[in-house]
């Protein structure tokens, strides 16, 4: 079976269109939407990520501001800036840009952002709301019971928590977009980080998947993946999930983003114009083999990545709606 490719760019574009309408409605009601990025670095990657955020905000009609601090700022100075933004009624969402100056604790900063303005959804209060994901059912109704007829719509349509970690909500939104009954499906999440693996596993459980979490200490990764109806790969190891492990018809969501060298047919690095090895972005799953076995698969790039970006905007717009 050749898998259908899940087009994250297209689904993210649809969400952006809706957000644009939401921002216009908020403005009409006298509420501007503003995302502020706290930045204390000259790092090129951080600056280009900020430029991307600015462009994304402009596209949906939201305001964007950089709260600049010197690259040698200490934690107290950054916390003080975050507290000002927490208190500023014109600010809907706050993000702290990485990397941070040496010695500054990212986790502490995330706890200092007011939960209601937490654009990345990483404040422990918002992580906690993922545990409390408002799963509206105790179990699937039996045939003839109330709710049976519109089960699929109900079970995939309840609002996901917000603000909540962007990548997990983005990945689960892709899964929901397939309009498949997730009740009782065997799901395997490879990776158990706070930002990706753990919240994804919690959200899958809220959809009644029987969820297994694998990580670096898992003894037989292959056997877990082989049994899965849904595989979510989030380890950051290129090619970790072998295509032949994927069960026929399984759904594959590849969160991994890895830069690897492009090789020629002899396995030698292909060089670019500057004579340096050419690189490309790949996920954690052996895509070419996996796509012949899976029913649906996300590409890398173009799968989960665009969803992460749009969820940052959604968290901010949702915050403005509540503010």
Name the site residues for ligand NAD (rule: CB under 6 A): 167, 190-193, 195-197, 214-216, 218, 221, 234-237, 240, 255-258, 304-305, 308
The H or E element that residue 39 is part of is strand 34-39
Between residues 44 and 274, which has the closer beta carbon with respect to ligand NAD?
44
Structure tokens at 192: 């158990």
We find the least distance from the C-beta atom of residue 56 to ligand NAD, in angstroms, to be 14
Please enumerate in sequence order all residues whose Cβ is within 8 A of that of 279, keeping only pairs 6 or more positions apart, or say none.
Answer: 259, 260, 261, 262
Q: Which is nearer to ligand NAD, 155 or 315 (CB)?
A: 315
Q: Which CB, 197 or 299, lies closer to ligand NAD?
A: 197
Count of Cβ atoms closer than 10 Å to residue 210 Cβ: 16
120, 111 contact by CB (below 8 A): no
Nearer to ligand NAD, 111 or 258 (CB): 258
Distance CA 3, CA 79 (A): 47
Q: Is 306 helix (H, G, I), strand (E, B) or coil?
A: helix
How near is the Cβ of 17 to ligand NAD at its closest, in Å? 20
CB of 12 vs ligand NAD, minimal distance in Å: 11
Residue nearer to ligand NAD on the CB measure, 99 or 134: 99
Report the nearest approach of ligand NAD to the CB of residue 166 (Å): 7
Q: Of 181 and 261, which has the nearer Cβ to ligand NAD? A: 261
- At its nearest, how many Å lie between ligand NAD and the CB of residue 301? 8
The whole-angstrom separation of Cα 181 and Cα 171 is 16
Tell me, rounded to whole angstroms, the distance of Cα 82 from its chain centroid. Answer: 23
Query: Residues with Cβ < 8 Å from 122, sequence gap 6 or more?
Result: 110, 165, 194, 195
Shortest distance, position 308 Cβ to ligand NAD, whole Å: 3
Of 114 and 237, which CB lies nearer to ligand NAD in the complex structure?
Answer: 237
- Taking the complex as a whole, how short is the minimal distance between the CB of residue 186 and ligand NAD, in angstroms? 18
DSSP string covering 133-155, please?
Answer: -----SSPPPTTSTTSTTHHHHH
- DSSP secondary structure letter of residue 304: H
Cβ–Cβ under 8 Å, residues 140 and 208: yes
């Amino acid at each position: 079976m050749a898998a259908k490719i899940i087009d994250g760019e297209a689904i993210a574009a649809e969400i952006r269109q809706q957000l644009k309408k939401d921002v216009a409605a908020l403005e009409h009601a006298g509420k501007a939407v503003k995302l502020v990025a706290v930045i204390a670095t000259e790092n090129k990657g951080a600056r280009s990520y900020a430029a991307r955020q600015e462009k994304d905000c402009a596209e949906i009609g939201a305001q964007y501001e950089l709260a600049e601090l010197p690259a040698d700022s200490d934690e107290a100075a950054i916390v003080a800036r975050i507290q000002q933004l927490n208190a500023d009624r014109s600010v809907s969402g706050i993000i702290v840009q990485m990397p941070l100056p040496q010695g500054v604790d990212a986790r502490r900063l995330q706890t200092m952002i007011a939960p209601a303005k937490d654009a990345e959804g990483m404040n422990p209060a918002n992580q906690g709301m993922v545990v409390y994901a408002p799963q509206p059912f105790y179990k699937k109704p039996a045939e003839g019971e109330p709710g049976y007829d519109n089960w699929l719509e109900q079970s995939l349509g309840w609002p996901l928590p917000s603000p909540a970690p962007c990548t997990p909500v983005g990945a689960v939104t892709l899964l929901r977009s397939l309009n498949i009954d997730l009740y009782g499906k065997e799901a395997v999440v490879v990776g158990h980080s706070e930002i990706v693996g753990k919240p994804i596993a919690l959200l899958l459980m809220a959809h009644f998947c029987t969820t297994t979490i694998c990580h670096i200490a898992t003894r037989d990764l292959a056997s877990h993946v082989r049994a899965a109806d849904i595989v979510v790969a989030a380890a950051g190891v290129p090619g970790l999930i072998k295509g032949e492990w994927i069960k026929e018809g399984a759904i594959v969501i590849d969160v991994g983003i890895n830069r690897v060298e492009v090789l020629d047919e002899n396995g030698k690095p292909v060089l670019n114009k500057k004579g340096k090895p050419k690189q490309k972005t790949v996920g954690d799953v052996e895509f070419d083999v996996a796509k012949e076995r899976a029913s649906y698969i996300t590409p890398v790039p173009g799968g989960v990545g665009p969803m992460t970006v749009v969820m940052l905007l959604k968290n901010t717009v949702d915050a403005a709606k509540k503010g």
